[in-house]
Amino acid sequence: MATEIYKSENIFLINGVEIYIIPLKIKYLREFMIRFNDVKNAKDDYEAIEILSECARICMKQYYPKISKSIEILQDNVDMPTVYKIIEIAAGIKINEKSKDTVKDQATNSGSSWDELDLAKLESETFLLGIWKDYSELESSLSMPELLATLSIKRELDYSEKKFLAAIQGVDLDKQSGQERGQKEWEDMKARVFSKGKTSDSNDILSLQGPAAQKAGFGIGMGIDYDDLRDSSLINKNI
């Protein structure tokens, strides 16, 4: 049984203040991704790091607004390893300081882009729950993992109700190929999100992360991790 929707962590500022961080709410993730997309055009690692630092500053609007007013204030309060940890938890973008790949390459190859998700459609379906007064409130309330988890259970409940009503009429919806195809498309979409664009196949182990991994009993991010073997330092270490 799944016990968590997303990964969270405590970080420490240079002055010792402890901050609890979780994935960004969609409201801040929008601003984060707009700035993060500039990494693709960075001239070098120095410029890429400056952009990532700005992304971390945006994150602080949610986590600790006191140090989100300027990049200088942020840099006075956090070191680069902490910046990397912030963007990893906030948006699932992992930067390994020990990797031989450049920071720019690691960031730009971190997964699917914001534009690849039909967020408007996902939000519209979730909004039908009638919990939020408008979409702005929805985006201030939910992160992407929370949105996907909410939408997933909503679809399961909707289908269970339809299946029950159909069974009364003697119809087995599980045998309807259209439903099976639609469910596969939904699972593949989730696989693409959870694996950061590394797979679109829900049967691929890379899709087993977070609650999906917990439900399956194992997976990346739930006790089993993996290393990118393209990093020759890791290959030599394992040999």
Tokens for 227, please give them: 């290393």
Cβ(145)–Cβ(5) under 8 Å? Answer: yes
Place of tokens 């890791």: 234
Return the half-sphere exposure (C-beta side, CA atoms, 13 A cut-off) of residue 203. 1
Q: Which residues, 6 or more positions from 117, have their beta carbon under 8 angstroms from its beta carbon?
A: 193
If you average pLDDT over residues 145-165, what whole number do you get? 88
* Confidence at residue 166, expressed as pLDDT on a 0 to 100 scale: 78
| pLDDT tops 60 at residue 235 | no
Angle (deg, nearest 10), helices 80-91 and 26-36: 120
176-233 pLDDT per residue, tens: 545 555 666 667 766 666 665 556 555 554 555 555 554 444 444 444 444 444 444 4
| DSSP reduced 3-state for 100 | coil
* Confidence at residue 232, expressed as pLDDT on a 0 to 100 scale: 47
Residue 49's alpha-carbon distances to 106, 193, 230, in angstroms, are: 11, 24, 22
Cβ(145)–Cβ(213) under 8 Å? Answer: no
* Confidence at residue 223, expressed as pLDDT on a 0 to 100 scale: 40
If you average pLDDT over residues 171-178, what whole number do you get? 64
* Mean model confidence pLDDT for the chain: 80
Tokens for 42, please give them: 């960075």
> According to DSSP H, which parts of 78-173 are helical?
80-91, 103-108, 119-127, 135-141, 144-168
The Cα 154–Cα 209 span in angstroms is: 20
Higher-scoring residue by pLDDT: 66, 199: 66
Higher-scoring residue by pLDDT: 233, 56: 56
Tokens for 48, please give them: 């890429």
